[in-house]
């Protein structure tokens, strides 16, 4: 076939039917994209993505990342209000209702110019490795960007601010870049099953999302009602002491803050915490997970190993 015939023939081709994979991604995009917003400053500095999860009269409430809103707060020194930009392009002022750095979640509220679409929440515990997922957001400022991939792994743990672990995060190979943070990760039904939160610098195809779970719902509820999430602390710097022989592992105490609950209980640097409130502690993560709101100002037995001997101490964790 001569090139002129080829050029002529290609100009007469009709639209091909989409394959099943493309149909699935397109269906998610049409359903979810109107609920995705960009959040940023009026001066264009800093920002990320978000997803509308509810409305109340004339206002809409969206979830994003804590590191997104904190980045905007730092950048606001140069001027500029926080703005919510809808998929249609309208930009309105937004208010941060609360943010929680340890879970990397935040909630913003705004008054949209048009009636917003509310995204449907799914449940991350129903995911399986290899399942199709779709990410929507504003990477590098390119609004309404859609990428697709699969669930690469489940049950991962990444470190949030302050050293607390964010448990059971979703690993995906759907392309995620700076600016995707705070945007939704959705299943093939268009339900939000995660909030995109992190990438590994220099890596390709490795992104993470905070899962929609009981913990997610508890954090969002606390941010909506109190503007913060309450947690307990002992006042110690700890590092995981791995299992060795008959020793099951624990949280090794590196330092103890003056006048802290730990110091008043008798904890010393070099001790290894192996239990709290009757529950075993095999790692730093396990200790941090036990120090939730329910532990605040509640007396508990702290089990520590000092120079090979186990001691039981009476401790009352305080609010962080």
Nearest one of 106, 100, 119, 104 to 55, comparing CA atoms: 119
Q: Is 16 a catalytic residue?
A: no
Pairing between β-strand 272-276 and β-strand 300-306 as defined by DSSP bridges: antiparallel
Q: Is 67 a catalytic residue?
A: yes
Q: How confident is the model over 129-165, as pLDDT tens digits?
A: 999 999 999 988 888 899 999 999 998 888 776 667 7
Q: Is 81 a catalytic residue?
A: no
User: Which pLDDT score is estimated for 77?
Assistant: 63
Sign of the CA dihedral 306, 309, 315, 318?
Answer: positive
Q: E-assigned strands of the chain?
A: 36-41, 47-56, 59-64, 82-85, 91-100, 105-110, 132-137, 145-159, 165-172, 184-186, 192-199, 207-211, 232-233, 236-241, 250-256, 272-276, 279-280, 300-306, 309-315, 318-319
| Interatomic CA distance for residues 11 and 28, integer angstroms | 30
Pairing between β-strand 232-233 and β-strand 184-186 as defined by DSSP bridges: unpaired
Q: How confident is the model over 118-127, as pLDDT tens digits?
A: 999 999 999 9
| Interatomic CA distance for residues 89 and 29, integer angstroms | 17
Out of 78-87, 220-229, 252-261, pick the least confident. Answer: 78-87
Encoded tokens for 171: 């690993």
Percent of the chain with pLDDT over 70: 97
Q: How confident is the model over 166-209, as pLDDT tens digits?
A: 878 999 999 998 889 999 999 999 999 999 998 777 778 899 99
- Quick one: how far is CA 218 from the chain centroid? 13
Nearest one of 135, 133, 171, 136 to 150, comparing CA atoms: 133
181, 187, 233, 271: the active-site residue: 181
Domains recognised in the chain with CATH numbers:
1-229 (2.40.10.120), 232-319 (2.30.42.10)
- What is the arithmetic mean of pLDDT over 206-217? 92
67, 100, 103, 283: the active-site residue: 67
Answer yes or no: is pLDDT of 98 > 80: yes
99, 100, 104, 271: the active-site residue: 104
Question: What is the band of 62 on the pLDDT scale with cuts at 50, 70, 90?
Answer: very high
Answer yes or no: is pLDDT of 99 > 90: yes
């Amino acid at each position: 076939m001569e090139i002129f015939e080829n050029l002529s023939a290609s100009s007469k081709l009709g639209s091909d039917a989409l394959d099943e994979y493309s149909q699935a991604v397109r269906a998610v995009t049409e359903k979810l994209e109107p609920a995705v917003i960009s959040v940023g400053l009026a001066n264009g500095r800093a920002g990320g993505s978000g997803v509308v999860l509810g409305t109340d009269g004339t206002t809409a409430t969206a979830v994003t990342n804590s590191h997104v809103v904190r980045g905007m707060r730092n950048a606001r020194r140069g001027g500029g209000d926080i703005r919510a930009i809808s998929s249609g392009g309208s930009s309105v002022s937004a208010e941060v209702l609360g943010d929680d750095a340890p879970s990397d979640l935040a909630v913003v509220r705004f008054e949209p110019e048009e009636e917003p679409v509310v995204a449907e929440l799914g449940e991350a515990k129903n995911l399986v490795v290899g399942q199709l997922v779709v990410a929507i957001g504003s990477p590098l400022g390119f609004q309404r960007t859609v990428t697709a991939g699969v669930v690469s792994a489940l049950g991962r743990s990444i470190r949030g601010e302050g050293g607390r672990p964010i448990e059971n995060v979703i690993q995906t190979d759907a392309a995620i870049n700076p600016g995707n943070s705070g945007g939704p990760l959705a299943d093939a039904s268009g339900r939000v099953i995660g909030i995109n939160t992190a990438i590994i610098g220099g890596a390709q195809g490795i992104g993470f999302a905070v899962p929609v779970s009981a913990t997610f719902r508890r954090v969002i509820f606390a941010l909506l009602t109190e503007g913060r999430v309450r947690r307990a602390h002992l006042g110690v710097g700890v590092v995981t002491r791995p299992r060795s022989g008959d020793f099951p592992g624990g949280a090794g105490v590196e330092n103890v803050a003056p006048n802290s609950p730990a110091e008043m209980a008798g904890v010393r640097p070099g001790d290894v915490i192996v239990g709290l409130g009757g529950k075993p502690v095999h790692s730093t993560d396990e200790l941090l997970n036990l120090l939730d709101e329910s532990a605040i100002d509640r007396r508990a037995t702290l089990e520590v190993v000092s120079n090979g001997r186990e001691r039981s101490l009476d401790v009352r964790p305080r609010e962080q």
